[in-house]
Structure 1
Amino acid sequence: MTSLGKTKRPWLVGPIFVALLIYILTQAGWLSSLNGFFYDTALMFAARVSDQTPTVVFIRVNDPQQLSDKEAIQLLETLMGANARVVAFNFVPTQCSRDFFEYAAQLQVVVFGRLASAVPEDPDRFELAPWPAQATGLNLHWGAVYLAPPEAGVYRKQFTGLNITGTNALTLEAKAALLSMRNVSNFPLPPSFLVNFKIYGQIPNLDIARVIQKDLLPSLVKDKIVLIGMDPTLKSIETPLARNKNAMSLVEFQAYALHTLASHSIIGELKGILLFIVIVGITFATSLTSTHMGGWTILRTTFLLIVSTLLTSLALLAYANYWLPSGSLCLAILIQSTLELAHKNRLAQLAINELRLRTISAIEDRVGVQKNVSPNGWWDRLASFLKENFNLKRFVVLERNGETQKLIPTKFYNFRDDNLAPEYLDLGSQVYKQAIANQSPTLAHKILGPAQEMETDFICPLIYDGKLIGIWIVRLEKIRLVPPRKLEPLLLRLSYEIARTIYTNKAEKQRPKFGVRLTNWLASETNNPVYSELVRATESLAQYYEILEIVYEQISIPTFVFDFWGRLVKINAPAKQLLMQANFPTERFTAFELLTWLLDQNANEARTVLQNVLIEHSSASRSLTLPSQEDRQFLLRVYPLVNPRETHLKYAHANIRGIICELIETTSLATLASLKGIVADRLGVDLRNHLSAIKLAAALLESDSTQPSERTALLETIQQKVDTCVQILRECQKYLSPRVDTSSMKLFPIDALTTLELVCTQLTPKAAESGINFKIDSPQVMVQVLANPVELTTTFDGILRLLIADAAENSEICIQIRDEGTTVTFTFSNSGSGMPEEFLRDILTSPDDPTSEEFRLLRNATIWVRDWGGAIDIKSTVGKGYLISLKLRLFQTISKQA
């Protein structure tokens, strides 16, 4: 990719190349029609401002044979008597006698036109019509009569001489003009010239009959050239100002050509090297004026340059009888402007590429953008993601063949295409109808071959941009406590990613390949305003990411950010330092690999955490210590990054963007110290009591008054108390270890009453909306139970939420707490609607996921309480409400057994 900074502009090559091209086209005559159009238009406007006086009058002779010898001599006498400067015939009056020709020779101002025709063998040579016999031997002036060829049917030029049998002979117009000047040496004649039609319609046309009769004003012909002629071709001649019906006759055209020469009003033309220099100047001017301009400004400048060129050409033609080839010059301006616009477009593309490169570089340096992967690498990433987090067994991707119903297997994992039944290669198959109709994943039964009890198949339609492009069939291992339908949002997200990848790859293959651009030779202008703005935008973006990086680095908690696929995106300084101290790699690891290492190489536990985050979209916490820093305790928090503004997926909570892992040090937490202090006090009291009993029994054994039977009982008591003390010391080691906190163990001595009061306080606003109050009947002592603190809080929360949702307005929820020696029972009741017992039992035991959040929490709580060694009993009566009994083990079990 070309960089703006490395592009050079060929200042000379561009304008000179355009100028040379236009010059060659002009000299070859390929632009004659274009130049002729501009010339004719300009001449029309120039004729309106012309103030020239005609130097020629013409007399039209319809039939020269009817002009008698006497009339011809009398015509010359009349014209000479009126002081005509030259009399020119565009024909030779063959019917006249030798007397007429002798008289004409005597006058020395009479010119005869001899018709010239091209020699067939050599078109560049001409031959003349012979003199009549009566005119031979006389010193008569003559000139050749011949019309210069037209340009696209329009006669604009006339010759001054012809090659007559190897000798240059003057044309009639040139000969007559030279005679009128008397001194011919001071007027060099060009081979051809542009006829000046600016006095169009002003040359007098005299009637031959009236002239012969001497009915003539002498001022009409005094010091003027009189052209007497006919049109031997009998055709009209189209000129710049006379077209179609108004076309000229031959004698009229010759009159204008004769006037052009006689009045010294030949229209000069820009030719040769001078033309090339002017075109080069025009192209350079166009290039220079467009250097620091944008696209629309270049168009406006081009318009102004063309208008200026046309006005200059018009002014030179009108007042200086000089013509610039406006068509060629305007075409040069247009071509150069087009190249400048192409150059600006090239600059814009280069600037955009530069912006993209700088932006990506800045983000990669500061944020760590992931590199693009090949199509095969993407599928490997998908398989690795599913295998790490969900124990992927196999999958197959079936792509739709065009618009047909046929499916073609294209991607496989742990599966062969010949193992797929033929009916599954038809999009209209019955097994696909539900998934296609719902546009969401559905459960399937052993499509990918025999399956074990803990494996589940899913059919996922691949839809992108509203089009069904295939089917994805995947087999995953069932997850404990997670119904298969809970996986639908995640599979829908993956289906969308697969469909987009397939669609993008197909579009890329079908994209036409274009050739190399013709404007690659154009270079850049680093001071271009657009480029400068893009550079400033890039720098602002870099500064924005730099601020975000500073904020992220100043977070004191070790934090890891992963994308949806579990790839590491960012790691802050505390996290990097922690990993370096533990000799763990600081880059290129996945969320699964990090969690597996943190959780003491327990891959199943790491997979459970990620499943909870990706499926439930809730946070997961674990207490842990690093392998090399066992004296420090950390709380691992893993939670998802969800973008609720994305709307292209069916499930709003499927819009997960990434995963965040935090390591919070919990070594010196006040809550942990307080809990351990309470446990220590309790165990200390029990230990003191048992040691006191041992001391008393020992004193009794030393007494002589103790009977033998009593000594046996005392020995048994001492042995029992010693065993109890050993058990208490074990409890101390278990609950007072430095590595123990409220989340690291499934069971921990917890003040259940405090936890219950906290949950009630949090739910009081919700209950108050319906006028519901909490009534707690509890003992005035600490109720320490063995439970998991987080799960116990969730259990109380689920029970109370269910009772609030069911309770009647302005009622009470009663909570009774009874100490039963080794256990404590929490009884929750309300006055509400309730439900039938069989419905309640189906909800709590059905394998499907309950629609109610409260029942889902209760079902999980049932499993938790059973793991703690407790029990939960839920009863409901229609019209009365719920009665829930929760029985937990007390921590005082050791002392009471003693």
Structure 2
Amino acid sequence: APARGLDLPFGVLDFPPRLATIYRQQHAAVSIAGQTYPTLAVAAARQLGIDIETAYRVNFYGGLNWLPSVTTARLFEDGLIPELVRGRTVLIETERSLPVYPLPNPTGQDITLAQFTGFALATLLGDAQIQELPSWLRGIAVIGAILLAFIVFQHLSLGPSIATTVLLFGLCWLAAWFMPPFWHIWPPVTEIILAIALTLLLVFHRKALLQEHTVRQINTQLTDILHERIIPTGFFEADNPWRQITHMVEQFLNVEWSIFLELAPGKYHLQELYSLNCKLDDIAERRRDYRRTPYSTALQENLPLRLERSYLQGADPDQVQYMAPLRCSGELLGYWIFGVAPESTSQTANWLKLIRSFQTQIAELLYHRRYWQQEKQRNSRVLNRFFMTGPVPGSQQRLRQSIDLLSQRLDYMEHMLHSLDNAAMLYDLFGHLVFANRAMSDLLKSQAISSYDSSALDLLCRLLDIDQAQGREILHQAIVWKNPAHFPLRLGSQETLHYLSVTAISPSEEQDQPAHSDMPFQSYGILFELIDASRISEFSNLKEQLTSRLIYRVRNDMESLTLGIDILQQPNVAPARKERALTLLKAKLTDSMDLIRKTQRHLQLDLHTHQVDFYPVESTRALKQALETVAPAIAEKRLKLQQHLPEVDSIVVADADKLPRILSALLRVLIEDSTSEGTLNITGSESSDYLSLTFSNTGFGLPDEQLQYYLTQSQDHDDDSDYAVLQSGIIQLKHWGGQLQAHSQMGKGITFTLTLKVYI
């Protein structure tokens, strides 16, 4: 106030404003008692013609070395060179005249108020104040950063996006480091960093929602596919699906009674659902807690468990009872308990494997029905339909489960195609191989034809021995005009007759095709089928042999009848002898008529309209087919084959396909047990009713109890394994009226005796 009257230039020494625990700005003026006074740095700058009206950012980028300071002691000792201070502005701070307050600042070192004022004055005098960008320019920078981040993050996954974010943060840090000292501009680093971080979160949150929605949509579509194409129609909507499952079990398995129990989600006690040929009140175990035995034991093994104690009150003690947990994708759905007669388990080979197959299929049906109903209930709610992007717990897990089940179904389809008797191969319309079943691969391999190196045209020309122009015409007719082609052929030196079928695989008329379908000519591909016509030829040959045998037998019977009639016509024959001759004549006549009727019934069979379980089969031909199958294994072990068979080929009761398969499995067991350069013996003898074939080897042998176990007990091996084939074969032979016996002795080998019923 005293200086006011002297009209001296002065400025107010005031503390700068504090921003986020640091001092980086200075006031241009302060208000005291209603009057506005310039700060010391602004007042000094005005003396040099530099004026500023608003607060400004102080430039500290020169550091303390940029603002030299000299103590008064050095000044009084003439330690200051005049040339260094001439033309300079000097701030004088008296020691101990004012309290010293260290001010945190961007230099990283605490400075006094006078030093801060010096930096402020130097900033003004050097026109080096740090300018902030205008609001509109900051907005453009932030929007540009958001757009750039959005475009980049849309095309990157999470890991590269985080790396890109770190890179952008580094660029912002470099801008904050270099722009203020060189261009005196303060970039909106904080705003840009926050914008990039928020953009990253929003983009990936949106991606997560879209992914969740897509997963849920795909999962629902997969369930619908399973519903429409795999699971029986009406099963999902059924109020009580257990009734349908029970009827399915009753149709395919010879069970005497069956009970299904369901486990509700989050519960421990099983609920009674449906029963067959019994009542739910008959269950002896009342608590039905799946954590207790026998439920826990069956669940732990995840296999059909044979119950030691009767599950039903008053059940037949001779019944065999099983408990099978119904579990799919780690989720327990319920239990299936049933009882069967002991003979049912012995009549079917691999009984436990059959039950496990039913157990798996039933669990899949129930799992998809439960999930389908949950989705239907969820989609029926208004709020759930409104918040479609909300996450669904476990949807990705359900998607994986659905994909696994579809993959399993694909494996089933491939297995089915491989098990077909007809050789089949599918090409796409570009001539590339899509699929070839095992029969086709083996057939082409025997002809030294590489299926994967041959196009559809090349294979067609090679099989039919035609030129490519003819082959193109055949494919043209099949694909464009949908005219399938059929050609008889014999492969190489084989005597077997085949028919080659060339067909275009097209969608059915009822199947909707999308408008953007990329299938040329509305076809999926070209199917090549090689149909074995040898069965027809064999059947024709069999009819000829049956006719010849019938004529031979009838001729012999006629001779016997003629002899008997001669005896009856003799006048001096005793009455008792005439009675015996008459009885013999009647028996012969009855046998001949029965034989004629039986043979006539088989001769009239049409392969296209009749399916029979057994019929006359040439035993020698079946044995020859089996030996051809195992010939490589015999050659590999250098075995000596000795055969002693009846001179006349026996016609036996069997199946022309199954009998060679049984014989091949039997021979493979003997070959595997045989010693190198050993002997494989096959002997045969025929009586009036049966043909007996004995197979033996010189081999290692195994305990006879173990061999009987392999042939009678259900094992956990593949259906194509030799012992599994023999187990099924024993049942088939009984059905044909024959049998298979086996004996093994350690150090000597194995002996099989196969008995077949002679037809004629």
User: What's the CA shift for 1:447?
Assistant: 0.7
Distance 1:410 1:757 in 2: 56
User: What's the CA shift for 1:417?
Assistant: 5.6
Tell me which residue corresponds to 1:156: 24
Distance 1:267 1:175 in 2: 19
1:621-661 deviation digits (Å, cap 9, x = unpaired):
xxxxxxxxxxxxxxxxxxxxxxxxxxxxxxxxxxxxxxxxx
Distance 2:362 2:68 in 1: 90
| RMSD over equivalenced CA pairs, Å | 6.9
User: What's the CA shift for 1:234?
Assistant: 1.0
Distance 2:63 2:665 in 1: 108
Distance 1:770 1:469 in 2: 55
- Alpha carbons of structure 1 residues 205 and 368: separation in structure 2 relative to 1, 3 Å: same
Q: Which runs of 5+ in 1 are unaligned?
A: 1-129, 522-540, 560-571, 573-661, 699-705, 892-898
Q: Among 674, 677, 694, which residue is 2:544 paired with?
A: 677
Task: Give the counterpart letter for 1:458 in structure 2.
Answer: Y
User: What's the CA shift for 1:333?
Assistant: 3.6
Tell me which residue corresponds to 1:737: 604
Matches within 5 A, 1:462-541: 472-476=336-340, 480=344, 482=346, 486-495=350-359
The answer to whether the Cα contact below 8 Å between 1:557 and 1:663 also exists between their aligned partners in 2 is yes
- Alpha carbons of structure 1 residues 152 and 767: separation in structure 2 relative to 1, 3 Å: closer
Tell me which residue corresponds to 1:256: 119
The answer to whether the Cα contact below 8 Å between 2:740 and 2:752 also exists between their aligned partners in 1 is no
Distance 1:795 1:277 in 2: 84
Tell me which residue corresponds to 1:420: 283
The answer to whether the Cα contact below 8 Å between 1:287 and 1:340 also exists between their aligned partners in 2 is yes
- Alpha carbons of structure 1 residues 344 and 685: separation in structure 2 relative to 1, 3 Å: closer
1:839-872 deviation digits (Å, cap 9, x = unpaired):
99x979x99779988996896588457x58xx99
Tell me which residue corresponds to 2:101: 236
Tell me which residue corresponds to 1:457: 321
Task: Give the counterpart letter for 2:100 in structure 1.
Answer: K
The alignment-based identity, stated in percent, is 20
Tell me which residue corresponds to 2:249: 386
Distance 2:650 2:66 in 1: 128
- Alpha carbons of structure 1 residues 302 and 517: separation in structure 2 relative to 1, 3 Å: farther
Distance 1:281 1:879 in 2: 88
Q: Among 7, 13, 27, which residue is 1:145 paired with?
A: 13
TM-score, with length taken from structure 1 = 0.49
Does residue 142 of structure 2 align to residue 279 of structure 1? yes
Tell me which residue corresponds to 1:265: 128
Task: Give the counterpart letter for 1:252 in structure 2.
Answer: Q
Tell me which residue corresponds to 1:8: none
1:387-418 deviation digits (Å, cap 9, x = unpaired):
3211453124476999x9x7544654446665
Distance 1:212 1:802 in 2: 118
Distance 1:558 1:829 in 2: 32
Tell me which residue corresponds to 2:187: 324
Task: Give the counterpart letter for 1:238 in structure 2.
Answer: L
Q: Among 40, 43, 49, which residue is 1:175 paired with?
A: 43
User: What's the CA shift for 1:157?
Assistant: 1.9
Matches within 5 A, 1:290-329: 298-299=161-162, 301-329=164-192
Distance 1:811 1:216 in 2: 122
The answer to whether the Cα contact below 8 Å between 2:29 and 2:37 also exists between their aligned partners in 1 is yes
The 3-state SS of whatever aligns with 1:175 is helix
1:178-226 deviation digits (Å, cap 9, x = unpaired):
2x22xx5xx4412212223336344454555787899975445544434
The answer to whether the Cα contact below 8 Å between 1:302 and 1:333 also exists between their aligned partners in 2 is yes
Distance 1:421 1:450 in 2: 9
Matches within 5 A, 1:712-731: 730=597
Distance 2:155 2:299 in 1: 57
User: What's the CA shift for 1:147?
Assistant: 1.9
Distance 1:477 1:272 in 2: 90
Distance 2:301 2:136 in 1: 79
The 3-state SS of whatever aligns with 1:227 is coil
The answer to whether the Cα contact below 8 Å between 2:150 and 2:203 also exists between their aligned partners in 1 is yes
| Larger mean Cα displacement after TM superposition, 798-807 or 672-681 | 798-807
The 3-state SS of whatever aligns with 1:473 is strand
Tell me which residue corresponds to 1:200: 64
The answer to whether the Cα contact below 8 Å between 1:834 and 1:882 also exists between their aligned partners in 2 is no
Distance 1:323 1:396 in 2: 76
The answer to whether the Cα contact below 8 Å between 1:440 and 1:492 also exists between their aligned partners in 2 is yes
Distance 1:470 1:361 in 2: 21
Distance 1:831 1:667 in 2: 32
The answer to whether the Cα contact below 8 Å between 1:743 and 1:790 also exists between their aligned partners in 2 is no
Task: Give the counterpart letter for 1:195 in structure 2.
Answer: V
Q: Which protein is bigger by CA-based radius of gyration?
A: 1
Distance 2:226 2:365 in 1: 23
Tell me which residue corresponds to 1:93: none
Tell me which residue corresponds to 1:441: 304
The 3-state SS of whatever aligns with 2:20 is coil
Distance 2:274 2:103 in 1: 81
The answer to whether the Cα contact below 8 Å between 2:11 and 2:40 also exists between their aligned partners in 1 is yes
The 3-state SS of whatever aligns with 1:237 is coil
Q: Which runs of 5+ in 2 are unaligned?
A: 375-382, 391-405, 425-436, 438-528, 717-722
User: What's the CA shift for 1:797?
Assistant: 8.1
The 3-state SS of whatever aligns with 1:475 is strand
User: What's the CA shift for 1:484?
Assistant: 7.8
The answer to whether the Cα contact below 8 Å between 2:270 and 2:289 also exists between their aligned partners in 1 is no
Task: Give the counterpart letter for 2:540 in structure 1.
Answer: A
- Alpha carbons of structure 1 residues 335 and 796: separation in structure 2 relative to 1, 3 Å: closer
Distance 1:879 1:828 in 2: 19
Work out the number of aligned pairs and report it.
601
Distance 1:227 1:695 in 2: 156
Matches within 5 A, 1:32-51: none
Distance 1:227 1:812 in 2: 120
- Alpha carbons of structure 1 residues 766 and 857: separation in structure 2 relative to 1, 3 Å: farther
Task: Give the counterpart letter for 1:676 in structure 2.
Answer: K
- Alpha carbons of structure 1 residues 266 and 502: separation in structure 2 relative to 1, 3 Å: same
1:270-316 deviation digits (Å, cap 9, x = unpaired):
24333323333343444456565565554555445444444444443
Tell me which residue corresponds to 2:490: none
